[in-house]
Chain A
Amino acid sequence: MKNDEIRMSEKESLELIASMINTAKNRVGETGTLYLLWGWLILFCCIVQFIAVHFFNYSNSYYIWFSTWILLIYQFFYIGKQQKFNKVKTYTGEINGFVWLVFFICLMLVIFIGTYLKRYEIINPMILVLYGMPTFLSGIILKFKSLIIGGICCWLLSILSVFIPGDYQLLLTAAAIIAGWIIPGYLLKKNYKKADNGI
């Protein structure tokens, strides 16, 4: 755009508005990195705990989950670094961030309440319910179908978990993570790379 005083017809003005709004709107900007990092770590934790409990009857296997705190610390640095490079802040990005914050708070509360009341059997199904919430909402916000499907899968698996005995529930969590985070994570990554090359 060279001369700012170029006279525009009404039609040209409306076309310019539509094209600029689309330019800004199409920036999903979601790289899928955090979905993949969390997805693979949780999948790893689920499988390790399942093997430890099912085959070796090792009761302290839940220690593996402390590894998630390391990723949580890394995530704070990662988000901080990302924000420095982001040239634009969108409303959808902000809302999406809050959705994941609410998920984290609810997750911590469910784990605390379940552990404190010694209702361990309810923790896994409730976690599956919670996994579905941010996954589904992110899918709606980002208009990304595979996240919506992933969220629904988490909820279906949460119903199934009621009928499945204790340690096998870990495999359901693993399946939920594959459907909800890992597959959408790779698809988001693919889309991001495609959009990046297109600019």
Chain B
Amino acid sequence: MEFKELDPILHSQLRLAVMSLLISVKEAEFTFLKEKTNATSGNLSVQISKLKEAGYIEIIKQFNNNYPQTICKITPEGIIAFENYVKALQSYMTL
């Protein structure tokens, strides 16, 4: 049986948690991701930047009532990568 390689960008606890949250919603604020993952702002910031560099998520920075707001959204590439990651995991699990 052929093993599919696990995407190193997704095979990390916090990045995978962020992607799993974003795949279920249309878009989410940075504070929502922070609250749900219990991560620190600094760490979360670094990890979402990595996801953005990989083209898996889109980050929109805007102002809401004079307060800066960071909105994260999964991209079509991100959805494909996530699906491939789950398929790869399943191929390991069915062993």
Contacts and interface: CB of A to CB of B under 8 A. Distances in A.
Interface of A: 1-6, 8, 10-11, 13-14, 16-17, 19-21, 23-25, 84, 87-91, 93-94
Contact of A89 (B11, B13, B26, B89): B26
Interface of B: 6, 11-17, 20-21, 23-29, 31-32, 35-40, 43, 46-47, 64-65, 86, 89, 92-93
Nearest to B91: A10
A17 B20 contact: yes
A20 B17 contact: yes
Given A10-B92, A21-B20, A24-B36, A4 B14 contact: yes
Which label, helix, strand, loop or mixed, suits the secondary structure of the A interface?
helix
A20 B47 contact: no
B26 A20 contact: no
Contacts, number: 87
A62 B92 CA distance: 68
B5 to A, nearest CB: 13
A94 B26 CA distance: 9
B27 A88 contact: yes
A91 B16 contact: no
B28 A21 contact: no
Contact of B36 (A14, A20, A90): A20
A16 B28 contact: no
A6 B39 CA distance: 13
